[in-house]
Amino acid sequence: MAARDNPAKAVKKGAQAAGGAQDDVTRDVIDSGALDAAAEAALAIAEAAQPDQAIPEGEAVVPATPPVIIGGVPAHALKEIDKATPARTGARAQTVSNTSPQAQRARSVVTGDPTETRNSMHRATKIVATIGPASTSPDILLQMLQAGLDVVRFNFSHGTADDHRQRAEIVREAARQVGREVAIMADLQGPKIRVGKFENNKTMLVAGNPFILDANCTLGNNERCGLDYKDLPRDLRAGDVLLLNDGLIVLDVTRVIGEEIHTTVKVGGELSNNKGINRQGGGLTAPALTEKDMEDIKTAMSLGADFVAVSFPKNATDMEMARQLANIAGAPYGIKPKMIAKIERAEAIPALQGILDASDGIMVARGDLAVEVGNAAVPALQKRMIRMARESNKLVITATQMMESMIHAPVPTRAEVSDVANAVLDGTDAVMLSAETAAGKYPVTTIETMAAICIEAEKSEESQLDRDFLDRTFTRIDQSIAMGALFTAYHLGAKAVVALTESGSTALWMSRHWSHVPIFALTPRVSSERTMSLYRNVTPLHVDTNMDRDAALNSALEVVVSKGYAARGDMVVLTVGEPMGQAGGTNTLKIVRVGDHI
């Protein structure tokens, strides 16, 4: 049957041959009103996709080159469909311009331009992963960095100070091998309130039975168990609800007598040594920083941690105290780490703005938070926290069970894929892996999978830069330059924004807004380079700025070109400060084409 006799069928056939993208391709082509031309192209694609002809005996066999995929469609298919599908007029929001990121990605892969192809794989969302028994070996950690790991998390709930120092050395060596700086995040344990140990290491609680939490109990049994937080009885009263083991066991408090908390088991189950305790709705008075945390801060500074994550802060005061302790401990090493507040207490929600103001960023720690406020409340809180962090020019990490099934399985569930993608679309700076990489079977595959999900999600993310700038007032010169550079690059279709920065502030302000234009932050400071590895859509690079302005700008362009991010003739927006070498001194914006005299 000729293509014009049944164009829709031909389109479907061509799309099937193009790698299984039948639904999206068919829908796009049919909607375009160009069925006849598209059918001819689709048949051509189908013919091109047929199996190779038999090779005569005696001739050499040349392996077939795998097709390049763009958003699930082979490049040759996309090229044919583009030619057969004229753009609709008068629909600016629904068409793809020649300078749009989508068009640039398509052109780069079709034409084989290696610079463009590399840019098409630029990932804006960063990946934080926890190091543990499954990922401590130098070889595995090196593969994780090569797969796209940006920040390595040290969980101070486990391991000794010497363990952490040894792992820090492995991380730094792996970073040297891949040729880029990687940040280290020290995640403090915090006041995790737990039950004590049991005579037989565990017991079974039955619904309806009484059970006592006794601060004076040494070894627990079927009737009672001890507490590691001795002040818990003073925080509770009859009618409170306790959630044990991440909410799997529920106890109703009936009365409190001295050091004993008498409860009735509402939801039973197996309770083993050292499981966590939460009060439904929050309200426990345990301080955010324990004696162990204070010692761990000293250890973190000795190994050169770039970020310190504080568990269970209730207010701004908790974060201010943690920052003061970290700055004092880091002074002998010349370190002032960035402070991340883990939002996992119900009390932290009404105090969120104050916590943001006292921190450099927040972590949406959905595990303990969900236990205290309820699972159903977490998704909306996540969106709210990400939005508030970006509006406050702060960082935000989304964490907990993002790829949990990959602890044991080589592929994630569809729900996990959607969870990661939605966090990306919400605007998170980073997505985090915990047990998946610390103890899972597939730490490298998990990072590769997460990176691929982020890239795909970012392709569909719409820029709202014009709306972001409405009714905004900038009071600082360096911030005004940063926003001006971002706005200019977006509307001129520049290939990149290149910011020469000392502290990284310019790059941080730019990264709060999504524009599809990659940002390259060049700095002479290793500490800034590591810190910026967590900034969304920012690629930190090292450059020597001990030179005059023009030489520094030329050097910056050379670095970006040598890394394959731009080519001769590409438009680039530059920002720099004069005199150079001063933090917060960015005051110049320059628009250039690579290869032209600066």
> What CATH code would you report for 465-593?
3.40.1380.20
Confidence tier at 225 by pLDDT (50, 70, 90): very high
Alpha carbon distance, N-terminus to C-terminus of the chain:
60
Kindly state which CATH superfamily the domain 197-279 is placed in.
PK beta-barrel domain-like (2.40.33.10)
400: enclosing H helix or E strand? none
Q: Kindly tell me if the per-residue pLDDT of 111 is higher than 70.
A: no
Q: Tell me the β-bridge partners of 154.
A: 186
Q: Where are the beta strands (DSSP E) in 206-320?
A: 210-214, 219-220, 224-225, 241-244, 249-257, 260-267, 269-272, 277-279, 307-310
Contact 119, 150 (CB under 8 A): no
pLDDT of residue 518: 92
The better pLDDT of the pair 12, 399 is held by: 399
Type of residue found at 597:
H
pLDDT of residue 119: 43
Q: Average pLDDT of 33-56?
A: 39
**How many other C-beta atoms lie within 10 A of the C-beta of residue 291?**
8
Q: Average pLDDT of 424-433?
A: 97
Tokens of 3: 């293509």
484: enclosing H helix or E strand? helix 477-492
Radius of gyration of the chain (CA): 28
Confidence tier at 410 by pLDDT (50, 70, 90): very high
pLDDT, tens digit, 9 for 90 and up, residues 477-522: 888 899 999 989 988 989 999 999 888 999 999 999 988 899 999 9
Q: Tell me the β-bridge partners of 328.
A: none
| 393 phi and psi angles, rounded to 5 deg | 60, 40
For the sheet with 260-267, list strands across it. Answer: 224-225, 210-214, 260-267, 249-257, 241-244, 277-279
| 2 phi and psi angles, rounded to 5 deg | -70, 160
Tokens of 509: 């302000």
Contact 500, 522 (CB under 8 A): yes
Distance of alpha carbon 22 from alpha carbon 13, whole angstroms? 8
Asked whether the CA dihedral 361, 363, 368, 373 is positive or negative, the reply is: positive
Residues 6+ apart with CB under 8 A from 272: 198, 201, 202
Q: Tell me the β-bridge partners of 573.
A: 497, 591
pLDDT of residue 101: 39
| 211 phi and psi angles, rounded to 5 deg | -150, 140
Alpha helices in 49-160 (DSSP H): 75-84, 101-111, 114-120, 138-147
Q: Average pLDDT of 203-222?
A: 95
Residues 6+ apart with CB under 8 A from 50: 17
Please state whether the peptide bond connecting residue 579 to the residue before it is cis, i.e. omega within 30 degrees of 0.
Answer: yes
In the DSSP assignment, the letter for residue 550 is H
pLDDT of residue 28: 40
Q: Closest Cα partner for 171 from 303, 296, 302, 297? A: 303
Q: Closest Cα partner for 184 from 231, 151, 219? A: 151
According to CATH, the topology of domain 126-191+287-459 is TIM Barrel (3.20.20)
Q: Tell me the β-bridge partners of 399.
A: 365
Boundaries of every domain in the chain: 3-53+68-95, 126-191+287-459, 197-279, 465-593
Rounded to 10 degrees, the C-alpha dihedral 534/540/545/549 comes to -110
Q: Closest Cα partner for 446 from 72, 118, 149, 178? A: 149
Residues 6+ apart with CB under 8 A from 101: 459, 516, 517
pLDDT of residue 582: 66
Residue 272 CA, chain-centre distance (Å), reads 33
What is the bridge-based pairing of β-strands 277-279 and 241-244?
antiparallel
Residues 6+ apart with CB under 8 A from 452: none
Distance of alpha carbon 363 from alpha carbon 431, whole angstroms? 10
Distance of alpha carbon 205 from alpha carbon 272, whole angstroms? 10
Q: Kindly tell me if the per-residue pLDDT of 115 is higher than 50.
A: no
pLDDT, tens digit, 9 for 90 and up, residues 531-555: 999 999 999 998 876 667 778 788 8
Distance of alpha carbon 504 from alpha carbon 526, whole angstroms? 11
Confidence tier at 379 by pLDDT (50, 70, 90): very high
Contact 531, 338 (CB under 8 A): yes
- What residues act catalytically? 153, 194, 342, 400
Residues 6+ apart with CB under 8 A from 134: 140, 437, 438, 439, 440, 441, 443
Task: Give the CA diameter of the chain.
Answer: 91
- The length of the chain in residues reads 598
Tokens 């293509």 locate to 3
**How many other C-beta atoms lie within 10 A of the C-beta of residue 64?**
8
pLDDT of residue 61: 40
Q: Kindly tell me if the per-residue pLDDT of 242 is higher than 90.
A: yes
- Give the SS3 label for residue 63: coil
